[in-house]
Amino acid sequence: MSIRGTEIKIEGLTHRYNAKSPLTFNKIDLVSPPGEVLAIIGRSGCGKSTLLHILAGVLKPTEGKALLNGESVESPSPRWVMMFQAPHLFPWMTVRENVGVGLTFARWSKNEIKKRVDEAIELVELKPHVDSNVQDLSGGQQQRVALARSLVMEPELLLLDEPFSALDAFTRASLQKDVRAIAKRLGFNIVFVTHDIDEAIIMADRAVIMAGSPGNIVHKLDVDLPDPRERQDPSVQELRSRLMTTFEQAAYSKEEAPAAASGQ
User: Does 44 sit near ligand ATP (CB under 6 A)?
Assistant: yes
User: Does 253 sit near ligand ATP (CB under 6 A)?
Assistant: no
Q: How far is the CB of 102 from ligand ATP (least distance, A)?
A: 26
User: Which span (16-24, 65-73, 95-103, 106-114) binds ligand ATP, by CB under 6 A?
Assistant: 16-24
User: Does 176 sit near ligand ATP (CB under 6 A)?
Assistant: no
User: Does 92 sit near ligand ATP (CB under 6 A)?
Assistant: no
Buried b (16+ CB within 10 A) or exposed e, 239-259: bbeebeebbeebbeebeeeee
Q: Are 39 and 22 in contact (CB under 8 A)?
A: no
User: Does 254 sit near ligand ATP (CB under 6 A)?
Assistant: no
Say which residues have a Cβ less than 8 Å from residue 112's Cβ, sequence separation at least 6: 103
Of residues 30 and 225, the one with the C-beta less far from ligand ATP: 30
User: Does 149 sit near ligand ATP (CB under 6 A)?
Assistant: no
Q: How far is the CB of 160 from ligand ATP (least distance, A)?
A: 13
**Position among 41, 46, 117, 137 found at the interface with ligand ATP (CB under 6 A):** 46
What is the Cα–Cα distance from 136 to 103, expressed in whole angstroms? Answer: 23
Q: What is the DSSP annotation of 118-138?
A: HHHHHHTT-GGGTTSBGGGS-
**Position among 5, 8, 10, 24 found at the interface with ligand ATP (CB under 6 A):** 24
What is the Cα–Cα distance from 149 to 81, expressed in whole angstroms? Answer: 10
**Position among 45, 76, 228, 258 found at the interface with ligand ATP (CB under 6 A):** 45
Size of the site for ligand ATP (CB under 6 A): 11
User: Does 116 sit near ligand ATP (CB under 6 A)?
Assistant: no
What is the Cα–Cα distance from 114 to 124, expressed in whole angstroms? Answer: 15
> Among positive and negative, which fits the CA dihedral 13, 18, 22, 24?
negative
Torsion of CA 163, 155, 90, 126, to 10 degrees: -80
User: Which span (39-47, 146-154, 198-206, 248-256) binds ligand ATP, by CB under 6 A?
Assistant: 39-47
User: Which span (47-55, 102-110, 125-133, 177-185) binds ligand ATP, by CB under 6 A?
Assistant: 47-55
Of residues 52 and 179, the one with the C-beta less far from ligand ATP: 52
> What does the radius of gyration of the chain's CA atoms come to, in whole angstroms?
19
Of residues 84 and 108, the one with the C-beta less far from ligand ATP: 84
User: Does 212 sit near ligand ATP (CB under 6 A)?
Assistant: no
**Position among 11, 30, 34, 49 found at the interface with ligand ATP (CB under 6 A):** 49
User: Does 182 sit near ligand ATP (CB under 6 A)?
Assistant: no
Task: Give the strand order in the sheet containing 37-42.
Answer: 80-83, 157-161, 189-193, 37-42, 206-211, 216-222
User: Does 19 sit near ligand ATP (CB under 6 A)?
Assistant: no
User: Does 21 sit near ligand ATP (CB under 6 A)?
Assistant: yes
| Coil/strand/helix, residue 85 | coil
